[in-house]
Amino acid sequence: MENPIGVSVSGLEELFSKLKILPEVLAKRVIVGAVRAGASVIWKEAKNNVPVHNAVLLSSLRIVKRKPKNKNLIWFTVTPSSKIIKKGLIALGVEKKVWINKRTGFKSSNYDNYGGYVELGNSKVAPQPYLLPAYENKGEESIKAVEKYMKKRLDREIGKL
């Protein structure tokens, strides 16, 4: 189960009043773009924090739009893509049904957890966090990116009306 870190933003009353002028569909597009812009700041920092020896994890980091149960929420996550990890790090063993890396001999039955093992470690491997430090270092900058994107996009969309 994912445990997202939530952020509350205040002081954007002017932007939200402009947002109310736009049609609902257009306003949602602006908000989605703004949230993605904020997530991209954390994504770039997470890519910088990935352990150097781990090129597959580095190339697998993605910004993924999630579908929350509450339709009023817009939720993006910065996460390793298991499809990329499956292609680059792990190959399917036909008979054993175990994922095996041909180069290193690494075996795993669940490649989805690989990014978590790097972030949190396990009983045999020390943690090498890359996501949480990215959020801690760039959280404020992420909020500023959301505000900057909304100002730019709202002015452009209102100009079109």
For 86-135, the pLDDT digits (tens) are 444 433 323 334 455 565 555 555 555 677 778 888 888 888 888 889 88
Write out pLDDT tens, residues 8-52.
Answer: 555 567 777 777 777 877 878 888 898 899 889 999 998 898 887
- Calpha distance 137→43 (Å, rounded): 12
Residue 21 is predicted with a pLDDT of 76
Residue 6 lies in a domain: no
Q: What would the two tokens of residue 121 be?
A: 């470690």
The confidence score (pLDDT) of residue 40 equals: 92
| Domain around 137 | 13-160
**Overall size of the chain counted in residues:** 161
Instruction: Tell me if 76 is assigned to some domain.
Output: yes
Q: Phi/psi at 80 (nearest 5 deg)?
A: -70, 140
Residue 17 pLDDT: 76
Find tokens 């978590």 and name the residue. Answer: 116
Identify whether 152 is part of a domain: yes
Q: What is the pLDDT of residue 75?
A: 78
Other residues' Cβ atoms within 10 Å of the Cβ of residue 61: 22
Task: State how far the Cα of 59 lies from the Cα of 62, in Å rounded to an integer.
Answer: 8
Distances, alpha carbon 61 to alpha carbons 51, 53, 125, 128, 151, in Å: 13, 15, 21, 15, 28
> Residue 57's closest CA among 109, 127, 117, 123?
117
Split into its structural domains, the chain has a count of: 1
Query: Is position 1 within any domain?
Result: no
Q: Which residue has the higher pLDDT, 60 or 49?
A: 49
Q: Token pair of 57, please?
A: 């994890």
Residue 108 lies in a domain: yes
Amino acid identity at 101: N
- Which residue carries 């781990």 as its tokens? 54
Confirm whether 133 is domain-assigned: yes
Task: Decide if 122 is inside a domain.
Answer: yes
List CB contacts of 135: < 8 A, sequence separation 6 or more. Answer: 5, 42
In-domain check, residue 7: no
